[in-house]
C-alpha cells in the first residue's frame, strides 16, 4: 500500500522486516541460562548486651544486604530486653525488631559464621570466622540523639560491609 505522499503504509511504514522468530517459545525462554545466586556470608554482629548496637546492625544488614548476608546478632552478656530507644530509632527508619530478642554468644558455637563484627570492645573468638572490630559507642543510658547518631554510624558501617561482600569474588 502506498499513500498519496509516496510513503508505504502499514505498521512498519516501508521499513524492512526484522529478522528472528515471529513468536517467542515460552519453553525455550524458561531454559535460558540463569544467573547463579551469590553465596551469602553468615555474619554475626556482637555487642555487650545484644540490646542496642548489634540489634541495629542486624536490622540494617537484613534490610539492605539480604542478597549477600545472613545476619545474626549476639551479646557477650545478653540483656533481658531490646532497649525501647533501639526499637524507636529503628522504627524511624522503617525497620522493626519486634520478633528479635537478646541472645548470647552460644549462638557462635551452634552456627558457623564467616564474619564476626565485634562492637563490644572486648576480644571475641569464633573459630573459622574473620573478626572485624567496629569502635561504636554504646548508647545504653544515653538520650535518643545518641541512639540516632549511633544508628547512623552503624548503618554506614553495615553498608560498607555489604558493598565489600558484594564486590568479593
Tens-digit pLDDT profile for residues 113-147:
999 999 999 999 999 999 999 999 999 999 999 99
For the stretch 42-59, pLDDT in tens is: 999 999 999 999 999 999
What is the overall mean pLDDT for the chain?
Answer: 87
Least confident span in 37-41, 131-135, 143-147, 159-163: 37-41
The contacts found for 84-89 with CB under 8 angstroms, 24 or more apart, are 85/52, 85/139, 85/144, 85/147, 86/51, 86/52, 86/55, 86/56, 86/147, 88/144, 88/147, 89/56, 89/144, 89/147, 89/148, 89/151
Which ranges of the chain would DSSP assign to H, the alpha helix?
26-30, 53-64, 84-92, 107-110, 144-167
pLDDT at 31: 59
Per-domain boundaries in the chain: 41-167
Alpha carbon distance 125, 87 (integer Å): 28
pLDDT at 28: 57
Q: Which is more confident, 153 or 16?
A: 153
Residue 35 has pLDDT above 80, yes or no: no
Residue 108 has pLDDT above 90, yes or no: no
Beta-carbon neighbour count of residue 84 at 10 Å? Answer: 11
Residues 7/14, Cβ–Cβ less than 8 Å:
yes
pLDDT at 1: 54
Which ranges of 14-120 would DSSP assign to H, the alpha helix?
26-30, 53-64, 84-92, 107-110
User: What average pLDDT score do residues 62-81 get?
Assistant: 96
Residue 36 has pLDDT above 90, yes or no: no
pLDDT at 124: 95
Alpha carbon distance 35, 15 (integer Å): 36
3-state SS, residue 64:
helix
| Domain spanning 41-167: CATH superfamily | Response regulator (3.40.50.2300)
Band (19; pLDDT cuts 50, 70, 90)? low
Alpha carbon distance 9, 3 (integer Å): 6
Alpha carbon distance 54, 51 (integer Å): 7
Amino acid at each position: 500500500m502506498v499513500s498519496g505522499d509516496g510513503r508505504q503504509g502499514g505498521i512498519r511504514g516501508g521499513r524492512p522486516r526484522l529478522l528472528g522468530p515471529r513468536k517467542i517459545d515460552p519453553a525455550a525462554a524458561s531454559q535460558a541460562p540463569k544467573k547463579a545466586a551469590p553465596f551469602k556470608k553468615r555474619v554475626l554482629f556482637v555487642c555487650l548486651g545484644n540490646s542496642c548496637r548489634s540489634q541495629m546492625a542486624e536490622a540494617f544488614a537484613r534490610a539492605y544486604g539480604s542478597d549477600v548476608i545472613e545476619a545474626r546478632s549476639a551479646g557477650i552478656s545478653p540483656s533481658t530486653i531490646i532497649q525501647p530507644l533501639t526499637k524507636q530509632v529503628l522504627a524511624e527508619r522503617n525497620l522493626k525488631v519486634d520478633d528479635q530478642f537478646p541472645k548470647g554468644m552460644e549462638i557462635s558455637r551452634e552456627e558457623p559464621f564467616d564474619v564476626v563484627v565485634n562492637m563490644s570492645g572486648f576480644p571475641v573468638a569464633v573459630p573459622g570466622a574473620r573478626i572485624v572490630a567496629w569502635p561504636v559507642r554504646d548508647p545504653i543510658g544515653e538520650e535518643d540523639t545518641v541512639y540516632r547518631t549511633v544508628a547512623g554510624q552503624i548503618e554506614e558501617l553495615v553498608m560498607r560491609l555489604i558493598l565489600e561482600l558484594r564486590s568479593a569474588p
